[in-house]
Structure 1
Amino acid sequence: MHSHGTRDNKKGGKDVWAWTAAIPHALAESWSGTLASWQISLKLTTNKHELRWDYAAVRTIRRKLKDILSSHPYLQPPGSLMSSTEGYSSIRSHNQLHNLTQEEQELILLIQEAAANANRSNVTRTQAYYDCYKSYPELHWALLAHMVSRNAGWNMSDLKGGLMSDLTDSQFKNHLYRFLERCNALIFQDAYPQLLLYIHSRKKGAPLFHLLPHFHISAFMTPFWEQFWLDRGSSLLTVALIINEQNYIEGRVARHPFYLEHVLEQPFFRIHELARLNQIVFPLGQVSGPEADMMASQEPPDSTRPLAGMTIPKFADLSIRIKAGRTLYALLFGYEEIFHSVLAFAQSTKHRGSRAEYWPALFTPTLESAMNNTHESRNLIQSEWLPEGGRLYSPHIEEIWQDESQEPIPRYDWYQGRVMLRHIRKPIRPLLPDMTHAHRAALEKTSIVHDVSERIHSHENRKRPSR
């Protein structure tokens, strides 16, 4: 028994020494990675794309939004915001906003059915967003939502992946999955009918935005869609949809008592924020052409795909989420290199929720070929890539999470005051959009916490007396 303990101590000592010896290498890697990130960012930001912003249109919409607050017929009083799921329906039936034609009634049912079918899972939502953008590229928000939805899928897969799954208990993982799924499903349920209504308007050749209230869309959005129909101002509409989506989930999820108690106020949530949950990454694909083909041929076969993106400092803050949305939009559509590279990735890479989609040299969706030891951090620090058969497990989302039926949605209009009007502002491009090193560094930090946690649990289990 004594010799067994000695062997354990020696092994533990070797692990500590290995981690300690790797620190100088990690520091050097951090500095060189930061320099590389600056250099990549300079390259990515060389060719800028002007985001058209019509200040006269903004002034017109602000006036309309102020008028809506005092005159719109289907606003609820602030005191009834979370009252029930019936409030909106009763107000709508009382007002009879429009005497709908048979064609309009059929269109509403068609859009509702299409939205319900596409809202089955993260994978179906992500594809639906991309299909909208592919058919109507003036819908900038649809491509942004597609990429953010990919990130949501990767975060959901992390909950049962190779590192994060061991750091939290199963109950919290289920709660966090429900939180992420609820946020994304609600945003889709609200935004996708708006996109489809615009698409049907284009096909008909006439605006159909008088039907927005019949999909329980906030009165906030109507002036923006009406303006978009006139001038196709993609930036202004995108900012409006960002403000709308974040307000839509604020009361229904972010401030919901259940998710506050079981997710946002849990210490485990902070662990996930310190890991990769608050990082939004846009993988950069190879743009076709002779120059791109030549660059690709010069890279090692397992090279790490560069990433653009940003870190959202605090999810619980509504204003921060809105500002982050504007910045992500400016990053995606404000730089030529990033836009074309992200679009190339979206076109060439099917979304299934595994991080192996963008870093196959570090992740694998196959559990049997994944790493299974307590040395992830040492391996990640010492090697740029991981060998086949020793990569981190990042499963396909539909293999680990089942589709969930949607819960009832509280029906109310979030637009109750002027405070959100200050967020209608032109997006500003970030100066350092590269996230390759920061994402890799977060992965290493997570792996260190994982390995230390595993060693502690293993040591505690050995100390327990056998029965």
Structure 2
Amino acid sequence: MFFLKKKKTTQPLSENMLEVKEALKRMEQSVSLSEELSLSKQDQQLLQYIRRQTYQLNRDNVTRTKAYLDFYCLYPEVHWAFLGHMVSRNGGWNMTDLRGDFFSRILNEEKRQVFFTFLERGNWLIFQDAYPQFLLFAESERQKRNLFYLLPYLNISLFMEVIWNQYWRKRDRYLLAIALIINEQSYLEQRIIQNSLFKEKVFHTLEFVLQDVLSVNHILFPYEGERESEGKASLVGLTLHHFGSLHERIMLGKRLYRLLFQDENQLKKVFRWAVDHPHTGSRKDYWKDVFNDVDEGVPGTRFTRRLKGCQLRNGAIRLYSPRLEYAWKNVEHPEAELGDWFHHWNVIDYLQDENESIHGEIIDEYCETIEKLELAALAKKAIFH
């Protein structure tokens, strides 16, 4: 069991949240689940379909990222699907960075493999937890009846069963989105953050500290701007410095949600960019003037500085950022670990809306990070303390 950092509530609970609180308090008691074979034939077939579809679309970061966007296009009221799509894009970029110009020089092959496994496992786990919920919601909409009693058979947290039941009645899009943020980050806590292998091989390594110092954990939201015709999308985003903190990850998720959905015009720009630029895993997707998915370098030549202020120096070749399909082979994952993270209703404190305005200026910070990584790659060692 783990505990969230206590978050102070800033306002009384709304009637909607009071209903959630009472339902969660009831769920804290042990809930018995009948055997799946006792369900109707129709329900059994639906569960089999959901598992099969989720498995097929969870093949790699590209397929799962596309699945999020496809679902959002059909059900735009499920805001998390688009947030999940954009964050999953960033996960793919982080995966291919490990084969790109910088980290292929900073990290040895063993460390790159471990870091990829860490990123891929987390990305896979979230999809196999979130996507079945989406498919069950879609089928509930189609049949025009609540099917969320089937969530426990898909190993979904009791917390989300309460939330989906509430959403079915009240259609509170904000509540659903933030609940999904809480759920997915809590779901990862024991399976990734507290995993002994990742603790030893990832979190306790100098390279992970280097990542944190260099602010590599940028979450970028590209959108169509003034230089789109030149192959350079505009960017907004935020940075996570304490990946190991569940509290910080939830709060970042809430800020990312607000950044994406607080301005309808900005949301349309990000969405239009996402639809017009299918995810490949290469950073060329958003800055093809700086990155290329083909290595333009000549084998054996010395690595030299190419960037100045997020622009290529005169005569410099673009940075190598491969497509995911050429960077990493698909992974056959072991079954997700069983167990429900939900233990106490006070997690609903995170459902409160802080109503803060998020600006998301990130270009200068991101450009500084790229240049620092370039220097680290040139030195072939961590030179920042």
1:291-344 CA distance string (max 9 Å, x none): xxxxx5xx5953642211100120000000000001100110012232111101
SS of the equivalent of 2:311 reads coil
Equivalent AA in structure 2 for residue 367 of structure 1: D
**1:453 aligned residue:** 380
Equivalent AA in structure 1 for residue 247 of structure 2: S
**1:210 aligned residue:** 149
SS of the equivalent of 1:432 reads coil
**1:26 aligned residue:** none
**Superposed counterparts of 1:6-405, under 5 Å:** 55-70=14-29, 72-74=30-32, 92=33, 95-96=34-35, 99-275=38-214, 277-285=216-224, 296=226, 299=227, 301-302=229-230, 304-368=232-296, 373-376=302-305, 379-381=306-308, 384-385=311-312, 390-405=317-332
Aligned equivalents of 1:177, 1:171: Cα separation in 2? 10
Could you tell me which runs of 5 or more consecutive residues in structure 2 were left unpaired when the two chains were aligned: 1-12
Aligned equivalents of 1:206, 1:394: Cα separation in 2? 46
Compared CA separation, residues 68 and 300, structure 1 to 2 (3 A): closer
**Contact (CA 8 Å) 1:330, 1:427: kept in 2 or not?**
no
**Contact (CA 8 Å) 1:309, 1:435: kept in 2 or not?**
yes
**1:434 aligned residue:** 361
SS of the equivalent of 1:281 reads strand
| Further displaced range: 328-337 or 128-137 | 328-337
- Structure number with greater Rg is 1
Compared CA separation, residues 172 and 409, structure 1 to 2 (3 A): same
Cα displacement (A) at 1:171 = 1.0
Cα displacement (A) at 1:387 = 6.2
Equivalent AA in structure 2 for residue 160 of structure 1: R
> TM (normalized to structure 2)?
0.90
Compared CA separation, residues 398 and 370, structure 1 to 2 (3 A): farther
Compared CA separation, residues 373 and 337, structure 1 to 2 (3 A): farther
**Contact (CA 8 Å) 2:210, 2:382: kept in 1 or not?**
no
Equivalent AA in structure 2 for residue 330 of structure 1: R
Compared CA separation, residues 325 and 428, structure 1 to 2 (3 A): farther
Equivalent AA in structure 1 for residue 24 of structure 2: L
Equivalent AA in structure 1 for residue 338 of structure 2: R
**Contact (CA 8 Å) 2:293, 2:323: kept in 1 or not?**
yes
Equivalent AA in structure 2 for residue 406 of structure 1: H
Aligned equivalents of 1:455, 1:109: Cα separation in 2? 49
1:224-253 CA distance string (max 9 Å, x none): 101111222111001111111011110011
Cα displacement (A) at 1:421 = 2.7
Cα displacement (A) at 1:260 = 0.3
SS of the equivalent of 1:368 reads coil
Compared CA separation, residues 206 and 98, structure 1 to 2 (3 A): farther
Compared CA separation, residues 386 and 136, structure 1 to 2 (3 A): farther
**Contact (CA 8 Å) 2:181, 2:250: kept in 1 or not?**
yes
**Contact (CA 8 Å) 1:326, 1:428: kept in 2 or not?**
no
Aligned equivalents of 2:298, 2:131: Cα separation in 1? 37
Aligned equivalents of 1:67, 1:114: Cα separation in 2? 32
Aligned equivalents of 1:384, 1:408: Cα separation in 2? 44
Aligned equivalents of 1:347, 1:98: Cα separation in 2? 41
**1:422 aligned residue:** 349
1:363-402 CA distance string (max 9 Å, x none): 11101358964322xx312772356870100000111101
Aligned equivalents of 1:226, 1:250: Cα separation in 2? 25
**Contact (CA 8 Å) 1:361, 1:386: kept in 2 or not?**
no
Aligned equivalents of 1:370, 1:306: Cα separation in 2? 30
Aligned equivalents of 2:216, 2:238: Cα separation in 1? 11
Aligned equivalents of 1:152, 1:103: Cα separation in 2? 36
| Further displaced range: 417-426 or 317-326 | 417-426
SS of the equivalent of 2:236 reads strand
Aligned equivalents of 1:428, 1:61: Cα separation in 2? 20
Could you tell me which runs of 5 or more consecutive residues in structure 1 were left unpaired when the two chains were aligned: 1-53, 75-91, 287-295, 457-467
Aligned equivalents of 1:454, 1:245: Cα separation in 2? 34
Aligned equivalents of 1:387, 1:430: Cα separation in 2? 39
Compared CA separation, residues 172 and 141, structure 1 to 2 (3 A): same
**Contact (CA 8 Å) 2:215, 2:241: kept in 1 or not?**
no
Aligned equivalents of 2:74, 2:100: Cα separation in 1? 34
* RMSD over aligned Cα atoms: 2.4
Compared CA separation, residues 388 and 365, structure 1 to 2 (3 A): farther
Equivalent AA in structure 2 for residue 315 of structure 1: F
1:117-153 CA distance string (max 9 Å, x none): 0001000000000011000100100000000000000
Equivalent AA in structure 1 for residue 150 of structure 2: L
Cα displacement (A) at 1:114 = 0.1
SS of the equivalent of 2:199 reads helix
Cα displacement (A) at 1:59 = 1.2
**Contact (CA 8 Å) 2:309, 2:368: kept in 1 or not?**
no
Between Structure 1 and Structure 2, the one with more helix by share is 1
Count of equivalent residues? 371
